[in-house]
Chain A
Amino acid sequence: MSEVQTRTGNGKLVVPVLAGALVSVLLGVYGANHKGKSIVFEISGFENLARAKTWLALLAGVLALVQLVSALIMWGKIKGVNPPWIGGLHRWSGRIAFWTAVVVGVFCLYGIGFQTFDTRVWLHSLLGCLFFGVFVVKMLVLTKSGLKGWVLPVVGGIVFTVLVVVVVTSAGWYVTTQM
């Protein structure tokens, strides 16, 4: 591949990364400047906001694991398994995980805001904002052709890791200490 083609291939990442960074920064700025009153619309079936967020976050976490396994299968890392529906499973589990995370994200950002009173909540707040940014990067990268082979797995891996930490620092903490 010529140097121009290489630069062009890497240059295709600029817009997705900038867009994702913008999303993360905007969410962080909003969260830092908004003090929530822990009042959001009530989802029927949950006792309170914390439990609603916990169960929804756990759902997103489980779907993230589905994402990981389906991606490993799609990339041939799990031998002997390659059903024709694996791509559809990966796409839909990702979509539902993201949309679920959006609901939780609104609950967190509007209902509470960006918190820094201890390491756990600071990490959760930071990575929560980062998750939506890296997800935007992942989605925009999927629309690009001619990218190097490592791009999609690396971006997908970052999305997965960030989401898992977000879930562990919230739902994981709540389930192990408050329930």
Chain B
Amino acid sequence: MKIKSPIVTLLVGLVIAAVVAALSINAATSKHYSAPAGVVIR
């Protein structure tokens, strides 16, 4: 079945969104909090 090119455009956009989102979620969740010097974390 031939997929029409506008649908392909949308699907590629969806893939790009998924990749960017996955990379961003990874970046956001892997940033560890580190306190500035002199601050004690209780």
Q: Nearest Cβ in chain B — how far from A52, in angstroms?
A: 11
- A-side residues, CB < 8 A to B, are 37, 39-42, 91, 94-95, 98-99, 102-103, 105-107, 110-111, 136, 138-140, 142-143
B26 touches A41 (CB 8 A): yes
A110 touches B10 (CB 8 A): no
- Contact A40 B12, CB 8 Å, known A102-B20, A143-B7: no
- Contact A111 B12, CB 8 Å, known A106-B17, A140-B6, A143-B4: no
In the complex, what distance in Å separates the CA atom of A34 from the CA atom of B23? 17
For the complex with contacts A41-B24, A98-B9, 10 further pairs of A-B residues with Cβ separation under 8 Å are A99-B13, A103-B16, A106-B21, A107-B20, A110-B24, A136-B10, A139-B6, A139-B10, A142-B6, A143-B7
The main secondary structure of chain B at its interface with chain A is helix
Q: Nearest Cβ in chain B — how far from A94, in angstroms?
A: 8
- B-side residues, CB < 8 A to A, are 4-7, 9-10, 12-13, 16-17, 20-21, 23-28, 31
Closest A-chain residue to B10, C-beta based? A139
- Contact A102 B13, CB 8 Å, known A39-B28, A91-B5: yes
A42 touches B27 (CB 8 A): yes
A40: B residues at CB distance < 8 A: 20, 23-24, 27-28
B16: A residues at CB distance < 8 A: 99, 102-103
Q: Nearest Cβ in chain B — how far from A142, in angstroms?
A: 4
Q: Nearest Cβ in chain B — how far from A163, in angstroms?
A: 14
In the complex, what distance in Å separates the CA atom of A44 from the CA atom of B17? 18
Cβ contact of A105, chosen from B4, B5, B17, B28, cutoff 8 A: B17
In the complex, what distance in Å separates the CA atom of A37 from the CA atom of B27? 11
B26: A residues at CB distance < 8 A: 41
Q: Nearest Cβ in chain B — how far from A113, in angstroms?
A: 12
Cβ contact of B6, chosen from A42, A105, A106, A143, cutoff 8 A: A143
B24: A residues at CB distance < 8 A: 39-41, 106-107, 110-111
A37: B residues at CB distance < 8 A: 28
B9: A residues at CB distance < 8 A: 94-95, 98, 139
